[in-house]
Amino acid sequence: MSKFAIVPGSFDPITAGHFEIIRRAAAIFDRVTVAILVNSEKAGTFSPDERLEAANAAIRELEKDGITNVDARVFRGLTVDAARDAGAGYIVKGLRNTSDFDYEFGMAEITRRFDENIETVFLPSSPEFMHVSSTYVREILKYGKGDCRAFAPGTEEIIKKFYEKK
């Protein structure tokens, strides 16, 4: 039986920390989908299509390393529904710190109540990515404080679009 996981998030934008978790998930599972979740309550900095474009650029980097079991899709609604819709039995969540653990542990319990057949798997961040967040990358962009590509792989085109919008 194939082990299929989603790695969900808003990915607004995808970061080096996300990229690391996706890479590690691809080594564990037979198939991984980067599930770009759209929250109708939040207006993202980048459109769902731009986030998908950046995720696909990051996936192309994985493919250069021979990792070919990752794809990306946009989903609307709950994470558990995205997992069901994709046909995944696992949800992979990266943890940077204990605050992430507290939040994600609660979400895993709620997910289990909606569908006991979907397991949540936690992967701790590597130390070099513990400080990297989408918020941090957006702040660098917003205030023009430097090149954030080291923190957000595959985002060159969406970063260019961000500056063109300003």
Q: List the catalytic residues.
A: 18, 42, 96, 134
**Contact residues for 147 (Cβ-Cβ < 8 A; gap 6+):** none
- Those residues whose C-beta lies under 8 Å from the C-beta of residue 5, and which sit 6 or more positions away, are 25, 28, 29, 31, 32, 33, 88, 89, 90, 91, 92, 121
CA dihedral 118, 77, 21, 33 (to 10 degrees): 80
